[in-house]
Structure 1
Amino acid sequence: MKLNQYEEIKQGEKGAWVSIGAYLALSALKLGAGYWFVSGALVADGFNNLTDIVASAAVLIGLRISQKPPDKDHPYGHFRAETIAALIASFIMATVGIQVLIGAVKSLFNSEHQIPNLNSAWVALFAAVCMGGVYIYNRRLALRINNQALLAAAKDNLSDALVSIGAAIGIIGAQFGLPWLDPVAALAVGVIICKTAWEIFYSSTHALTDGFDENELSSLRTTIAKTKGVKAIKDIKARVHGSHVLVDVIVQVDPELSLIESHQISDEIEHRMGRKHNIMSVHVHVEPQEDVENSEIMSTEKH
């Protein structure tokens, strides 16, 4: 049975809780192991996970707010809280990415390198595997329920897995007298995190400013144009509202059609958009098709 939009958001909360639980457990493990095995990289990774709890909490709050039904101030509902949560997550990811880059640059110019216990590398790799599993779970769930906030959280999970791998590389490299591996790996991870944060930031701000992909809009136009009874499309607009798309379209039909027949065309457009594009909110305005010959005659008379 297909879930409705509020049930889908409720499902998304599971992913946010999984992230929070994983970050709490792994941050405690990394901080404890980092201090025990004298690994600065593992300690830094543990503090990184503590900040990620804030990002996951922001996603969870956004999902909770988006479940509120429409009211006088929000006639379309509160779904954009998801997008705002994703935007907040991008800021936190960017902060972590910049911190990783700064730390990597400092390490490159640091002549003193303390060799940590090799066991700290296994802890980092174990954490990377765990976060990889959380990433796969959240990504699959986000794609299944089409939730942008949870997808942003999943990308954050992947970034944390990469940070742990970078920490492990640095620790292992130190065992073989290659301390430069740590900052080089950290630089690569920092760039990946910042790139991911920028992608989430761009998509979130694009949606919040009512931007919409031109190729997707063209696909929606094609579906409507192929609907039986539609003679022409006068105008079409679309915008993203959380994880949902709102479409406004003006179609022209045969002027001889009755009101009931025109309404049936409108219903068919809504049905096709929901079935093919999973768009459930379509506002269709029906107009009679203009008489091209008469329009040309009137234009000639004006001149």
Structure 2
Amino acid sequence: MKDKKTKPKLKGKHIRKLHQATKVVRNSVLLLITLTILKGFGGYITNIIALTGDAVGSFSDIIANSAIFIGLYVSQQKASGHFKYGLHRIETLISFCISLLILYLGYHIFSDSIVRLFSTAPTASHGIGVLTAVISIGVSLFAYYYQRKTAEGINSQALLASAYDKRNDALVSLGVLFSVFAEKLNISYVDGVVGLAIAVMILWSGLKNTQESLFYLLDYWDNPEITKKIRAILSKSTIITKVKNIRLRHAGTYIFGEAFLEVNPFTESKDLRDEIHRLNKKVESSVEHLGDLVLYIDPPKPTQVMVALPVCQLDGLNSRIAEEPHAPFHLIFVKLGGGKVRSVTPDEKSFTFQKATELALYLKEKKV
């Protein structure tokens, strides 16, 4: 049995955070456009290759953040047409592409730094270079903390990758600042050495983000604490006898999964339905970023069966079955298993057929 749903239950709180994240990325694009123009102007005036390369890197950030904006917007669209599960994975795909871009930029900076170790070029207007680098460091750090906080709030891998890219931009600008001072002092090799160090850090960050995005695209799961929390909630249910397996995966900013459960085979369908709905609400309110959890129910075949026999008097298996509709009677509980009578338990409590509701509740309590 499966608790059927027509579409994922996406939390209103998470939706609101996605809207806010979309605004954050939009503002970041506007900020990056301004920063790129500033760096490009500074690189043109000073003729410092590091500053010009930094401007090119910021231009690529504009493209990356524009892609994130599109990804976040598209991922909020409801499931429809051929995309029955929604478009949440597009956000993770964009994260993967941005990570590849970070790797490319890291390689580009690395190769340029090697060249600068063995070459020199005339530079000028070092004051403009210093001012541009300082402004760039401040803006990049602000964007890093701004985007990282938002990314962690909505569980966005793409936005988190972009935040780390902004941190890399701050490091690059710091390297540019050192390079400007070195050029001012006619120390040519500093530009190359600093560039190499920054390139290594950027390449490491890109490799880490690429691996994480690729793993999430392949349904990798790395948060046992959430799995443990869901298992604990399900295990406390009075009708679930065993939590057989829980499978979770990331899809964009959401977490989706399935849980395979064994339940008491004698549970009434109404009680089972109500309990499944209760458990879903409990899990959704306890696990942040959860989009949908499907509960698969497997009623096990009972190895033992409890039977209640109405008898006139208590005389073990020799008791006579109660047939008089208005006379009170007792119950004998007989446990059957493996084709044999496992136990016989008489019950002193008396009932009448007129009190059917009371009898039904008592039999349910005894798990008959």
**What residue in structure 2 maps to residue 263 of structure 1?**
273
Give the drift of 1:246.
0.8
**What residue in structure 1 maps to residue 297 of structure 2?**
286
Give the drift of 1:242.
0.9
* Residue pair 2:157, 2:253 contacting (<8 A) in 1 also: yes
**What residue in structure 1 maps to residue 215 of structure 2?**
206
> Which stretch of structure 1 is more off in the superposition, 281-290 or 234-243?
281-290
Question: In the alignment, residue 262 of structure 1 is paired with which amino acid?
Answer: L
Change (3 A) 1:214 1:19: closer
1:86 to 89, 95, 100: 95
Q: Structure 1, residues 204-239: CA drift from partner, whole Å, max 9, x if none?
A: 111111221262464245334433223211222112
**What residue in structure 2 maps to residue 24 of structure 1?**
33
Instruction: Say whether 1:118 aligns with 2:126.
Output: yes
Q: Secondary structure at the match of 2:82?
A: coil
Q: Structure 1, residues 103-134: CA drift from partner, whole Å, max 9, x if none?
A: 11111222x35454431123112111111111
Instruction: Say whether 1:233 aligns with 2:249.
Output: no
**What residue in structure 2 maps to residue 136 of structure 1?**
145
**What residue in structure 2 maps to residue 274 of structure 1?**
284
Change (3 A) 1:187 1:3: farther
Change (3 A) 1:184 1:258: same
Q: Structure 1, residues 72-99: CA drift from partner, whole Å, max 9, x if none?
A: 3111111111111111211211111110
Q: Distance in 1 between matches of 2:26 and 2:68?
A: 10
Give the drift of 1:156.
1.6
* Residues 1-303 of structure 1 mapped to structure 2, 5 A cutoff: 3-110=12-119, 112-119=120-127, 120-213=129-222, 215-216=224-225, 218-229=227-238, 230-278=240-288, 279-289=290-300, 291=302
Question: In the alignment, residue 112 of structure 2 is paired with which amino acid?
Answer: G
Give the drift of 1:149.
2.0
Q: Distance in 2 between matches of 1:246 and 1:236?
A: 11
* Residue pair 2:226, 2:287 contacting (<8 A) in 1 also: no
Unaligned runs of at least 5 residues, structure 1: 299-303
TM-score under structure 2 length normalisation:
0.74
User: More strand per residue: 1 or 2?
Assistant: 2
* Residue pair 2:117, 2:188 contacting (<8 A) in 1 also: no
Q: Secondary structure at the match of 2:293?
A: strand
Question: In the alignment, residue 74 of structure 1 is paired with which amino acid?
Answer: F
Q: Distance in 1 between matches of 2:227 and 2:13?
A: 26
Q: Distance in 1 between matches of 2:124 and 2:283?
A: 58
Question: In the alignment, residue 298 of structure 2 is paired with which amino acid?
Answer: E
Q: Distance in 2 between matches of 1:284 and 1:218?
A: 14
* Residue pair 1:42, 1:167 contacting (<8 A) in 2 also: yes
Give the drift of 1:163.
1.0
Q: Distance in 1 between matches of 2:303 and 2:139?
A: 65
Q: Secondary structure at the match of 1:231?
A: strand
Change (3 A) 1:158 1:59: same
Question: In the alignment, residue 174 of structure 1 is paired with which amino acid?
Answer: E
Unaligned runs of at least 5 residues, structure 2: 1-10, 306-336, 340-368
* Residue pair 1:232, 1:289 contacting (<8 A) in 2 also: no
> Which stretch of structure 1 is more off in the superposition, 162-171 or 2-11?
2-11
Q: Distance in 2 between matches of 1:116 and 1:219?
A: 61
> Which stretch of structure 1 is more off in the superposition, 210-219 or 134-143?
210-219
* Residue pair 1:239, 1:246 contacting (<8 A) in 2 also: yes
Percent identity reads: 23
Q: Structure 1, residues 241-292: CA drift from partner, whole Å, max 9, x if none?
A: 1111111111112222211222233223322321222224110122234547
Q: Distance in 1 between matches of 2:153 and 2:134?
A: 29
* Residue pair 2:74, 2:87 contacting (<8 A) in 1 also: yes
* Residue pair 1:101, 1:190 contacting (<8 A) in 2 also: yes
TM-score under structure 1 length normalisation:
0.88
- Structure number with bigger Rg: 2
